[in-house]
Amino acid sequence: MEPTDLLEQIIENNRKFVGSGGGGDADDLVSQKAPVAYIACSDARFNPDALGSNLQFAFKAYNPGNAFTGYESLASMEYTVAHNKSKLLMVIGHEGCGAVNSVVSGDFRNEEGSLRVHLDVLYNQLRDYIEYGEKQKMDSHFYEVMNVDVQVRNLLRNSPTVRDAVERGEAMVVGMMYLLRKGSEGKLVVTNVNGKDDVRSIKKLVPKGTPVERGYANPMPFY
């Protein structure tokens, strides 16, 4: 498909969506509401519509590897906590993440420009896990889960706005994995809550029946 065909398709998709009421009406749109906020990987295999109606529901930040490597994504989370009073903040990683895999394999060194800078920072954030994982022969899922732990920590440690909201009990930070493996395609599992990264502690903090799955303990827990 040519870019112009894609543009035509986008305009048509939006026309149909708005025509079916999905865009809301002017009364709904006077101000923003976003009880939920998340950072997720930009990967096209993650479908944010699966989480609920996007309209007035979620404030979103995306980048390769769902990582807080600069100001932008952290600023998104701080904005929505300060101005929308978002209560549920999620870090959503996924299986088969190209960004995490390229950082682990070293392939990121072949990238250029801003992508290289972003992945360099992510490499430094994950370096201890990469060294550990090489020794222990861990698979890619290990690094993807650890990256979610690291990003939850980044959010809590590097943002006083978010940390204060969590400490006051006004917000909760949840790390999750979006599974792509056969038989679990699209399943969301909780892997971290407010920095707690062991299944027993997590289960005390989430509603009964919430899928909690880690697969790996964090060899270097934060709390």
Stretch that binds Zn ion, among 18-26, 41-49, 77-85, 147-155 (CB under 5 A): 41-49
Q: Judged by CB, which is closer to Zn ion: 16, or 116? A: 116
Nearest-approach distance from CB 213 to Zn ion, in angstroms: 18
Figure out which of the listed residues 34, 39, 41, 146 binds Zn ion, where binding follows CB under 5 A.
41
- What residues between 69 and 98 interact with Zn ion by CB under 5 A? 97
In a 3-state reduction of DSSP, which class is residue 128? helix
Distance between CA atoms of residues 72 and 74, nearest Å: 6
Phi, psi for residue 191 in degrees, rounded to 5: -125, -5
Residue located via tokens 């072949």: 110
* Shortest Å, Cβ 117 to Zn ion: 17
Q: How many residues at the interface with Zn ion, by CB under 5 A?
A: 4
Distance of CA 218 to the CA centre of its chain: 18
Residue type at position 111: E
Q: How far apart are CA 152 and CA 195, in angstroms?
A: 6
- Segment 185 to 214, residues that bind Zn ion, using CB under 5 A: none
- Asked if 43 is part of the footprint of Zn ion (rule: CB under 5 A), the reply reads yes
Size (the chain), residues: 223
Residue 40 C-beta: closest distance to Zn ion, Å:
8
User: Would you tell me which residues interact with Zn ion (CB under 5 A)?
Assistant: 41, 43, 97, 99
